[in-house]
Amino acid sequence: MPDIVGTLGKLTPGLEEPFADSSILPTYYVSRLAREHVTVALSGDGGDELFAGYDRYTRLLRRSQLDRVPQWLGRLYRDQIFHRTPSFYGRRFLFNISLPLRDRYIDSVSHFPAWGRERELFSKDFLAWSDTVESPLNLFRRYFDEAPAKDFVSRLLYLDTKTYLPFDILTKVDRMSMATSLEVRVPMLDHVFLEWVTSLPMSLKLRNMSGKYILKKLAERIGVPSQVLHRPKRGFAMPLVHWMRDELKRDLVEILLERRTLERGYYSKTALRKLVEEHTSGRRNRSHELWLLLMLELWHRNFLEARAGNQHQPTAISVLSAT
């Protein structure tokens, strides 16, 4: 197992923001390996957003068959029923399908959605502050509503191109590659090529519930084997669920339970302890949520405490109120 704790200690100061995509780690290791042989590399980033390559697009289309449920009934479930029901398998799915199709997608790509399902994790002071600033939910809705496209999937591609691609994918690859002195270029995002691709009909991107249709047909022509083209999509995921219950529990997860963390003012102490216990006991997989909170805490220590000279550790609310 690589030295995850040491690597995080090296990488997180260079992120400069609470950046919580756990694939920074494999991206860093791959970049470091590539740098042993080359100084410049090409990336395929942008291909999924341009050619509908993510499985979540087709998954959402399949769920669209459930839109026979009246919207008033969905609102009734979310507002009056959901928060009163105990946790059970499928509870999150029921909440998701009760939403309008656009918001259903935004919910599916959110770890802590803005509409209240996970709000109990945060402190009353933090929630009061967050209600005074514009919600990211509004930004995502605006990009979708203002997308220069008519069909639903093209609007999703536009939304992801404006949000997920620059704020996560490109940021991650840029920071991790430069940490190893490797320069990564992104030919898929050449503006001339991008403008041409966005003019293509959706049938050349998504067909028979399979994305990247035109790219796969081109690859077939140059002899790429079928088993490569049509194998299930695999992300750059990390085994967080196991690490955070075993090898990294003491070094990473327990950071969230330190007095220093609990007194920030971000969270309800009871809710945070419950979240950690649910994961470490094996009752639920909370690894991604814990990783998000961990990266926020490391950012706070690297920047807000460092800026204050560590003499008076700033609380979340005092810092946020001053911005």
Q: Which of 10, 280, 43, 315 is nearest to 184 (CA)?
A: 43
DSSP 167: I
- DSSP annotation of 100 reads -
Q: Would residue 9 count as lying in a domain? A: no
85-94, 127-136, 208-217 — most confident range: 208-217
Query: Quick one: 289 and 159 in the same domain?
Result: no
> pLDDT tens digit string along 284-300?
888 989 999 999 999 99
How distant is the alpha carbon of residue 68 from its chain centre?
A: 29
Work out the average pLDDT over 171-181. Answer: 96
Last residue of a domain, one of 199, 221, 237: 237
Q: Based on the fold, state whether residues 208 and 270 are members of the same structural domain.
A: no
Residue recorded with tokens 């059970």? 88
Residues 208 and 305 both lie in one domain: no
Question: How many Å separate Cα 36 from the centre of its chain?
Answer: 30
| Residue 320 pLDDT greater than 50, yes or no | no
Shared domain for 290 and 167, answered yes or no, is no
> Please, which residues have CB within 8 angstroms of residue 134's CB and are 6 or more apart in sequence?
none
Q: Does residue 321 surpass a pLDDT of 60?
A: no
Strand spans (E) along the chain = 40-42, 183-185
The boundaries of the domain holding residue 266 are: 240-322
Q: Residue holding tokens 């299930």?
A: 232
Q: Is residue 8 part of a domain?
A: no
- What distance in Å separates the CA atoms of residue 68 and residue 18, rounded to the nearest whole number? 39
Q: What is the pLDDT of residues 2-61, one digit of tens each?
A: 788 889 889 988 888 889 899 999 999 999 999 999 999 999 999 999 999 999 999 999
Q: Are 26 and 302 in contact (CB under 8 A)?
A: no
* 52 part of a folded domain: yes
Q: Do 146 and 87 fall within a single domain?
A: yes
DSSP, res 315 = P
Total domains in the fold of the chain: 2
Three-state DSSP class for residue 50: helix
Return d(Cα 269, Cα 170) in angstroms, integer. 34
Q: Clarify whether residues 203 and 305 are in a common domain.
A: no
Average pLDDT, stretch 259-275?
91
